[in-house]
Structure 1
Amino acid sequence: MHSNYIIRPMKREEVNIAIDWAAKEGWNPGLHDADCYYHTDPNGFFMGLLDGKPISTLSVVKYSASFGFLGFYIVHPDYRRQGYGLKIWKSGIQYLYGCNIGLDGVVEQQENYKKFGFKLAYRNIRFEYVGGDDVFANTDTIDLSTLPFNTVELYTCSFFPEKRTAFLKSWINQPDCHALGIIQNDRLAGYGVIRKAQNGYKIGPLYADNPALADAIFASLIQAVDFLQPVYLDIPEVNHEALKLAERYRMEKVFETARMYTGESPTLPLDRIYGVTSFEVG
């Protein structure tokens, strides 16, 4: 490994490099993900530079003193298998020292992650919807912006190990997105966000208290965008009702990840998580 290799925190504009590389890897990030991610933890984005040239990236977003999430672990193809990845990886793990660390890793890297103490929790499967169905938007769905932010945040809290106010605010209000929810018995009973991606659209998250509500929100989300574009949904494989939803809409499996943690898997209502927010920040 070259001695002129340094690792330092990214500047905001450099997160665009990580997004671009992730797109080249086929991960299809959202068009406005960089802003939402970076402002969640501006110190949690690392870049490795060789003679001043970016060759590696890593995000290690610290949500609290006890929980963080790792993503964007990418080494430029010209510099792989030379030790550069391992060095930036160790810097990121050090930044999250003392945290239970989560990640969504490509399946081929599972064994490598296990060497660093990560344990498999479950698989997330990316499904692609390409239209062709008569899908009708549910008239019960409402725009999340019509609700007090506290209402949305309170509902969201049970679906993630830590509160993430700054991220949630930017996520549901980002450009080129629709955030829709359903009120039942005078309370929020589910919501979803669809955003423009490098290719088509991505839904994430999709939370709902039961399968019928999940279906209604999903239908409304895909009706809200250009029906000629593909739509992607990342489903925790352990949610069987979510897999049935994918089957009903004749969605095709296109990708999968291994959700892993260094500590105990957080207690989350996986039966109500029909779509993962993000493979990069959880």
Structure 2
Amino acid sequence: MMKKPFVIRTMTREEVDLAIEWAAQEGWNPGLDDAANYYAADPNGFLIGLLGDEPIATISAIRYDASFGFIGFYIVKPEYRGKGYGIQIWNTALESLEGCNIALDGVVAQQDNYKKSGFQLAYRNIRYEGAGGGGPALSPSIVPLSALSIDQLQSYDQAFFPAPRPQFLQTWLRQPSAQAYGIVKDGQLTGYGVIRQCRSGYKIGPIYADTPGMAEQLFLALKSTVSERDAIFLDVPEVNAEAVALAERYQMTVSFETARMYTQSEPELPLNRIYGVTSFEIG
């Protein structure tokens, strides 16, 4: 019997749904609209590995621009692990991002393997879990993000991410099962946050804010959009002590962590103003 060929190619939009489903099976708890959101970031950035006609491996290699890319969705079907298929699709993903500073949020157990491919640890991201509900009346400075122009949002977002991401932002901020708020002071955007519905509960991310007080206002506004029966999740850079304190102040507990790693030097981002990471899958 002839051995089936292993073929790696770019995913179709429908196949991104499969990657999301596999991520759910791995316990990653994706958002309800994540497939459309992530595909908007780079339609050519998703790879699938097929053994004959059977999908057995996925990975995303999002190229934001000529200098920065992000790896995620690195999954091999359990029965095909340890057979060399994973490393093939991994290497293809890295080759597709040649010339970029490549980032990932890797599970702690895989850190040493990622180091073999040239990734270096920058810091840990910590996932906190808590309950929704509560919150005081919204501050007059908090507005729905839909009231602001995409140019204003893109201009503010650019300080917090290593590359422009306008197509992704437009989709992320307008996804159907999400709420998004900004803080406006003297006509200027000084922070924004998003909460989106997931398979289980709701994830908050990002929260970017110019001060700890503004971050807390956004957190409370987002938290109050769901009920106290709903679980909420917030992923914070451990190096931001104020973000850790915010999560702990509202009785959130650690449920998961990742290693943020880069192949080149760590980008100069204002980590002290990042209170919630957008996504472990695409940055």
Contact 1:127 1:232 in 2 (8 A): yes
SS for the counterpart of 2:121 is: strand
CA offsets, 1:246-275, max 9 Å, x none?
110000100000000000100000000000
Number of residue equivalences: 280
The aligned residue for residue 102 of structure 1 is 103
- AA matched with 2:248: E
Q: What is the alpha-carbon distance in structure 1 between the residues aligned to residue 32 and residue 5 of structure 2?
A: 33
Q: What is the alpha-carbon distance in structure 1 between the residues aligned to residue 137 and residue 123 of structure 2?
A: 31
| 1:206 aligned onto 2:207 | yes
Contact 1:137 1:223 in 2 (8 A): no
The aligned residue for residue 216 of structure 2 is 215
Specify whether residues 189 and 55 from structure 1 end up closer, same or farther in structure 2 by C-alpha distance, changes over 3 A only: same
- AA matched with 2:255: V
| 1:162 aligned onto 2:163 | yes
- AA matched with 1:120: L
Contact 1:206 1:273 in 2 (8 A): yes
Deviation of 1:134 (Å): 4.5
Specify whether residues 137 and 112 from structure 1 end up closer, same or farther in structure 2 by C-alpha distance, changes over 3 A only: farther
Give ranges in structure 2 of 5+ residues lacking alignment. none
TM-score normalised per structure 1: 0.97
CA offsets, 1:98-118, max 9 Å, x none?
110000000100000000000
Contact 1:137 1:216 in 2 (8 A): no
Contact 2:29 2:199 in 1 (8 A): yes
Give ranges in structure 1 of 5+ residues lacking alignment. none
Contact 2:134 2:223 in 1 (8 A): no
Contact 2:4 2:52 in 1 (8 A): no
Write the mapping of 1:29-108 to structure 2, written as runs, cut at 5 A: 29-108=30-109
Q: What is the alpha-carbon distance in structure 2 between the residues aligned to residue 278 and residue 25 of structure 1?
A: 16
| 1:136 aligned onto 2:142 | no
The aligned residue for residue 265 of structure 1 is 266
CA offsets, 1:187-226, max 9 Å, x none?
1111100000111000110001111110000000011123
The aligned residue for residue 9 of structure 1 is 10
Between the aligned residues of both structures, percent identity stands at 55
SS for the counterpart of 1:39 is: helix
- AA matched with 2:76: V
CA offsets, 1:66-114, max 9 Å, x none?
1100000000111111111000001100100111000000010000000
Q: What is the alpha-carbon distance in structure 1 between the residues aligned to residue 137 and residue 128 of structure 2?
A: 20
- AA matched with 2:47: F
SS for the counterpart of 2:239 is: coil
TM-score normalised per structure 2: 0.97
Q: What is the alpha-carbon distance in structure 2 between the residues aligned to residue 113 and residue 241 of structure 1?
A: 29
Q: What is the alpha-carbon distance in structure 2 between the residues aligned to residue 149 and residue 9 of structure 1?
A: 29
Q: What is the alpha-carbon distance in structure 1 between the residues aligned to residue 134 and residue 14 of structure 2?
A: 41
The aligned residue for residue 197 of structure 2 is 196
Specify whether residues 137 and 202 from structure 1 end up closer, same or farther in structure 2 by C-alpha distance, changes over 3 A only: farther
Contact 2:134 2:228 in 1 (8 A): no
Q: What is the alpha-carbon distance in structure 2 between the residues aligned to residue 122 and residue 3 of structure 1?
A: 41
